[in-house]
Amino acid sequence: MKKISIGIIGGGLMGREMASAFARWCALADVTVHPILSAVADLNPTTLSWFDAIPSCTQKTTDYRDLLANPDLDVIYVALPHHLHEAVYLEVLEAGKDLFAEKPFGIDLAAARRIMEAVDKSGRFVRCSSEMPFFPGAQRVIDQVVHQPIGRILEVVSGFHHSSDLDPTKPANWKRQSPTCGEGGVLNDLGMHACHLPLRLGWKPKRLFAQLQKGVSQRPDGKGGVATCDTWDNALLHTWVQVGEQEVPLRLEMKRLSPGSTNTWFIEILGTEGGVRFSTAEPKTLWVFERGKEQWWKKTELGFSTQFKTVTGGIFEPGFPDVIQQMWAAYLMERENMLGERFGCATPAEAVATHEIFSAALESQRSGSVITL
Ligand SMILES: NC(=O)c1ccc[n+]([C@@H]2O[C@H](COP(=O)([O-])OP(=O)(O)OC[C@H]3O[C@@H](n4cnc5c(N)ncnc54)[C@H](O)[C@@H]3O)[C@@H](O)[C@H]2O)c1
């Protein structure tokens, strides 16, 4: 396998998730690339010490510019609060490194567009993190829509729900405050997950009406005081997309206040002849609708049918760490021009398109009107 040397900037929740995906790379059976985690940068020395468990990770620094100066690193993955995306992504590109960028790819639309411009100028290989479409069930949804007859599409719902903000005693963090998360709040946080598959299927909203909600306005700051939380927590975007000759309603749902949900990503596409539904709440289950003399919702247990084969037995159920690893396999194989027909990671253009949707949603909320994109 070709070894690819990786550096991580931001070793928090996602930095460590990615590091663990590299650490169990031996699970993958049909890739020709092998990521080696060589370096990590984080402001917090305690966070850095977690990486002591990874022998290949020999460069640990509180200054991310040390990574950019390291000539041995091929790819930099950046998982930082949103207000830092633009500056750091641009510096990674200027350093001549390929970039795997966390969503939302800049704090707002203007930042995303500037990043995209820098990507185009740099010629570097850049993709944006969005792992949920790598669930086998999500891939089967695409297959069903592209290759199976479902008739005229009637409606599409795509969303991401969790309930992390329901507990008012949970301390505030950067994701609950506009200067660090962005005015979009939950749009920036969960929007890429809801938009990625519809965009990949060519369904970009033409118009939208948004209903945005805020949750708890003050939370403990974790230091004995109180912090103001001003970001949007829930977003319902009622949009219209063009599918063939028809205008079709697409509802995008992003919620941090969804009672009972824990990181549930879902998509449902209904047509006149058939339909398909997948939710990570049932990670190996695909629901397919068929209409005949009677009507059926057929339930299929898909098992571990990931697009890159692994040592895991086909009867088992996939989970979040598995799709993170599949996403990295797609990034690294595409970087080598070896992705073939397989599903690739979100592109910079798709990331900018999500921000166009978020920006229109904020405008719709402000004006109480339908916005044309
Ligand atoms: N793809 C997904 O499913 C998913 C899930 C969660 C978060 N994210 C995204 O990942 C990114 C990071 O989110 P997170 O949940 O890992 O956040 P986090 O707060 O857990 O981690 C961020 C880390 O960045 C470090 N940091 C802050 N400023 C720094 C600097 N100047 N230099 C070096 N390190 C610095 C912090 O110390 C922290 O460890 C965000 O863009 C977020 O939207 C993606």
Q: How far apart are the CA of 371 and the centre of ligand 1, in A?
A: 31
For residues 56 and 40, give the distance between their C-alpha atoms in angstroms, rounded to a whole number: 11
The answer to whether the 2-128 and 132-318+342-372 domains have the same CATH topology is no
Give 186-189's long-range contacts (Cβ < 8 A, gap of 24+): 186/231, 186/232, 186/233, 186/234, 186/235, 186/254, 186/255, 186/256, 187/104, 187/232, 187/235, 187/254, 187/357, 187/358, 187/361, 187/362, 188/82, 188/103, 188/104, 188/107, 188/358, 189/104, 189/254, 189/256
Q: How far apart are the CA of 8 and the centre of ligand 1, in A?
A: 11
Q: What is the C-alpha radius of gyration for the chain, rounded to an integer number of angstroms?
A: 21
Burial of 312 (0-12, 13-18, 19+ CB in 10 A): middle
pLDDT at 148: 86
Asked whether 191 lines ligand 1 (CB < 6 A), one says no
Asked whether 354 lines ligand 1 (CB < 6 A), one says no
Task: Judge whether 320 and 131 are in contact, CB under 8 Å.
Answer: yes
Q: How far apart are the CA of 2 and the centre of ligand 1, in A?
A: 28
Residues of the chain predicted below pLDDT 50: none
Asked whether 12 lines ligand 1 (CB < 6 A), one says yes
Asked whether 106 lines ligand 1 (CB < 6 A), one says no
Residue bearing the CA closest to ligand 1, atom 27: 80
Segments making up each domain of the chain, as ranges: 2-128, 132-318+342-372
Q: Which atom of ligand 1 is nearest to the CA of 129?
A: 1
Q: How far apart are the CA of 17 and the centre of ligand 1, in A?
A: 11
Quote the Cα angle for 33-37-39, to 5°: 140
How many other CB atoms are found less than 10 A from the CB of residue 168? 12
Q: How many CA atoms lie within 13 A of 131 on its CB side?
A: 22
Asked whether 89 lines ligand 1 (CB < 6 A), one says no
- What is the CATH number assigned to the segment(s) 2-128? 3.40.50.720
Asked whether 184 lines ligand 1 (CB < 6 A), one says no
Q: Please tell me whether the overall predicted TM-score, pTM, comes out greater than 0.95 for this model.
A: yes
Residue bearing the CA closest to ligand 1, atom 31: 43
Asked whether 41 lines ligand 1 (CB < 6 A), one says yes
Could you tell which of 9, 17, 43 is best to mutate to test the pocket of ligand 1, judged by most ligand atoms within 8 Å of the CB? 43
Asked whether 13 lines ligand 1 (CB < 6 A), one says yes
Task: Judge whether 267 and 278 are in contact, CB under 8 Å.
Answer: yes
Asked whether 86 lines ligand 1 (CB < 6 A), one says no
Task: Judge whether 149 and 275 are in contact, CB under 8 Å.
Answer: no
Closest CA to 72 of 38, 35, 34, 99: 38
Which residue's entry shows tokens 């903000």? 165
Q: How far apart are the CA of 26 and the centre of ligand 1, in A?
A: 26
| Domain at 132-318+342-372: CATH architecture | 2-Layer Sandwich (3.30)
Determine which helix (DSSP H) or strand (DSSP E) holds 233, and give its type and residue range: strand 232-243
The model's pLDDT over 292-320, given as tens digits with 9 standing for 90+, comes to: 899 999 999 999 999 999 999 999 999 99
Question: 70 phi and psi, to 5 degrees?
Answer: -85, 110
Could you tell which of 20, 80, 107 is best to mutate to test the pocket of ligand 1, judged by most ligand atoms within 8 Å of the CB? 80
pLDDT at 149: 80
Could you tell which of 9, 14, 264 is best to mutate to test the pocket of ligand 1, judged by most ligand atoms within 8 Å of the CB? 14
Q: Which atom of ligand 1 is nearest to the CA of 78?
A: 11
For residues 30 and 27, give the distance between their C-alpha atoms in angstroms, rounded to a whole number: 10
